[in-house]
Structure 1
Amino acid sequence: MKISQFSLPKFTIVPLSLLAIVTLSGCAKSPQDLNVVTHNASNTLEPPSTSTASDEIFSIMHIPKAVLQEYQKKAVKEPNNYQAQIKAAISYHEQGNDEQAIAYYKKAIQINPESGEAYNNIGNIYFRDKHEPQISIPYYEKATKVQPGYGYGWLNLVIAQKQVGNVSDAISAIQNGLKKVSNQSGTVYQMLKTYEMRLQASS
């Protein structure tokens, strides 16, 4: 499914209150099908995609162009509004302008340097759109450093490490993530647990 981060890694997203900016598309048949997960403005995560990590990792549900333009205008009018910068970044990504998207994510980071969301979504751009998983890794690492309990960052770090062949680093990231992510009944925590079993079985 082609759209936009957004996400997981997936840069794909679930509706912004049913409006929608998506982080991942599709449903995974197994943890091996997981792609990068994107954390969107409403903190929602769509199920992992069945596509490979190099395919649909960052897609966004269709949002009318007029709405996207409103996101961009609001970000300019409210330069200190964190969510406005995030939405503008998602908007630019949807329109194929990843450089502007990254610029707005960086503005969001300046406003709230303790949030892992923007770092995560920059990582997703490099992972999916630029096909440079190695470059995405430091962004995921930063996301988990500034916000240790941010499960999306840990999950995407695992996926990126696995993608570049660093299985031991992926397992280490899973173990660290499981210690930091507090919601043990949450989807991301369970995905980390399942991924851990898969990687340990294959290593």
Structure 2
Amino acid sequence: MTITITAFERSPDGGKGLARDTRVRWALEEAGLPYAVRLVSFHAMKEAAHLALHPFGQIPTYEEGDLALFETGAIVMHIAEHHPGLFPADANARARAITWMFAALNTVEPPILELIIVRFVEGDKPWKDERLPLVQDRIRTRLTQLAARLGDADWLDGGFSAGDLLMVSVLLRLRPSGLLNEFPRLAAYVARGEARPAYQRAFAAQLAVNAAPSPAG
């Protein structure tokens, strides 16, 4: 059965790998799975056909036969559970990898997304200058804790896993802010993730979509 995912027809990040379909592409590449991509416009994301796949009108979605999924974490977990390459064989190590998946999305990413909101959505609000340093401090606290746990290891728990895939993807969102550079261990960790051939293929695929001529052009 062909796997089909959805992605932005034109990504807000211009193809820098920050859109969440890149995470799913990366997981599929790590698992060695072929897949098709259906590009959707911002208008189409709010129409009934797409809302039937993703009730919140976002991307990505994942379709395989009769199965339709949304939410990046759930999609990556499904891929990892059914194909080799993203979960270790040992049951306890697998459970720890799942824990890191949840940590990436539920503990590390929320303050990072808050920073993006403060800088770009609320950039013209009177409270921005007071709120920004508070959000940055919350992020630094999380990064300090994460860097301490990572230590000098290459990955979070032994070999590379879906936990690392999501954590690297989350940390990549910090690069434009410069905060990641304050934590050399984490910057090196992200660089190791980006250097993986599967990530390189996923990044190139997302970039190619955004480098192509506009459908309206």
Greater strand proportion:
2
TM normalised by structure 1 equals 0.36
TM-score, normalization: structure 2? Answer: 0.34
Mark the structure with the bigger radius of gyration.
2
Q: Looking at both structures, which has the greater relative contact order when contacts are Cα pairs under 8 Å and sequence separation is at least 6?
A: 2
